[in-house]
């Protein structure tokens, strides 16, 4: 790992529980320095250009925070002086709006609102002293997004460089009723260790999130290339030329799609949404969509290996008869999809029991608040024993 230089600063990328290893790998392959894994986060160092690159290119990050101050705090009220002592004029103009979000990790009882309020007072008073006027708070569309992470001993003050969550890639304008978060979708594909050479199939593709993420992974398309705005574009040190240079160099690395990516879906309304999303992502020519019932389908080429990644209905938001649905799922995979490497995410832990196949891997993840499992089933032609002989 290369050495941290003078222009480098600490950043923290946030992610979902269970995707920390994947995010760490993404950061290492992008060239991040001093990478350290946390819970739902990975910290790293890099310069401004690297921050732009990370925002454009990380598939499993939700937000990227730039740390601007770490201070010890003895009393809760110390937050005021910590904020007042920061040279805010280096980061924002008095005419810009701001918002403060707090993550508080304290064992004792506390009031998160108190921290945000006192922190705002400190920042505002800093500007009053310097310029005789104060910047305004805008909770919905601030120019500057400030984040405080408060634990027993310290407060870490950061600027959220992304703004709204990075799962908002800009392609999914229409959704069906249970779309998977784009960051989680990319995480599932990366966890499945898809080699990008084997054909990819989502048999219950809904609004096509996994198909789009798979195509972007296979072609090295930066996931946030079509995003309208990042918070760092409002920063005092915003460097349009540097950003354009980084964007251009990432665009040059985009490759042609060399595998077939296919989605199947039985609901006509979901197919319409999937088509629209593929169009928004400029991928409609490259991905095959089939309106069909997976349980009545079979693999086209039995000999050719296939990577299957999907999230079936869990019986939460989309009602299903759990026993018959999950046993049909297991039977279809077993009988009709030999030579496949199947992965799916479900929060229905009861349903898993009806699959009738032994998973070779079970990974704990969260889909929103739902504790889920990503399961892997290696499907051979005939039994596993025969395959080994």
Distance in Å, CB of 293 to ligand SAM, minimum: 5
C-beta closer to ligand SAM: residue 121 or 293 = 293
C-beta closer to ligand SAM: residue 270 or 322 = 270
**Closest chain position to ligand SAM (CB):** 206
C-beta closer to ligand SAM: residue 176 or 276 = 176
Residue entry with tokens 């026993």: 323
Q: How far is CA 232 from CA 86, 110, 288, in A?
A: 19, 31, 37
Distance in Å, CB of 173 to ligand SAM, minimum: 13
Distance in Å, CB of 211 to ligand SAM, minimum: 9
Residues of this chain that bind ligand SAM (CB under 6 A): 176, 178-180, 204-207, 209-210, 264-267, 270, 293-295, 311-313, 318
Distance in Å, CB of 198 to ligand SAM, minimum: 19
C-beta closer to ligand SAM: residue 221 or 270 = 270
Q: How far apart are the first and last CA of the chain?
A: 44
C-beta closer to ligand SAM: residue 159 or 210 = 210
C-beta closer to ligand SAM: residue 55 or 176 = 176
Distance in Å, CB of 273 to ligand SAM, minimum: 8
Distance in Å, CB of 149 to ligand SAM, minimum: 31
């Amino acid at each position: 790992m290369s050495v941290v230089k003078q222009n480098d600063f600490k950043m923290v990328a946030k992610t979902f529980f269970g995707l920390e290893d994947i995010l760490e790998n993404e950061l290492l392959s992008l060239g991040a320095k001093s990478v350290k894994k946390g819970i739902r986060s990975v910290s790293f160092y890099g310069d401004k250009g690297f921050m732009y690159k990370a925002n454009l290119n990380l598939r499993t990050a939700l937000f990227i925070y730039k740390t601007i101050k770490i201070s010890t705090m003895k009393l809760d009220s110390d937050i005021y002086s910590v904020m007042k002592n920061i040279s805010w004029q280096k980061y924002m103009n008095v005419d810009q709006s701001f918002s403060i979000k707090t993550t508080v990790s304290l064992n004792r009882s506390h009031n998160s609102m108190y921290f945000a309020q006192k922190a705002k007072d400190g920042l505002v008073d800093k500007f009053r002293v310097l310029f005789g006027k104060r910047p305004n708070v805008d909770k919905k569309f601030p120019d500057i997004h400030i984040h405080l992470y408060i634990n027993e001993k310290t407060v870490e003050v950061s600027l959220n460089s992304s703004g709204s969550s990075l799962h908002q890639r800009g392609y999914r304008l229409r959704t069906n009723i249970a779309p998977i978060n784009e960051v989680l979708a990319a995480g599932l594909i990366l966890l499945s260790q898809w080699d990008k050479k084997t054909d990819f199939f989502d048999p219950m593709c809904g609004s096509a999130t996994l198909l789009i993420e798979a195509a972007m992974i296979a072609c090295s398309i930066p996931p946030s290339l079509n995003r309208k705005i990042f918070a760092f574009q409002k920063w005092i040190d915003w460097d349009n030329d540097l950003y354009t240079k980084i964007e251009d160099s990432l665009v040059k690395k985009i490759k042609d799609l060399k595998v077939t990516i296919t989605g199947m879906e039985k609901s006509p309304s979901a197919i319409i949404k999937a088509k629209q999303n593929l169009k928004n992502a400029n991928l409609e020519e490259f991905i095959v969509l089939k309106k069909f019932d997976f349980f009545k389908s079979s693999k086209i080429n039995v000999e050719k290996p296939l990577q299957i990644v999907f999230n079936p209905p869990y019986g939460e938001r989309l009602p299903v008869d759990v026993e018959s649905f999950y046993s049909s799922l297991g039977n279809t995979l077993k009988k009709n999809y030999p030579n496949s490497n199947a992965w799916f995410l479900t929060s229905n832990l009861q349903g898993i029991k009806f699959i009738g196949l032994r998973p070779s891997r079970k990974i704990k993840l969260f889909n929103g608040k739902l504790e889920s499992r990503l399961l892997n089933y290696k499907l051979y032609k005939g039994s596993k024993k025969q395959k080994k002989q």
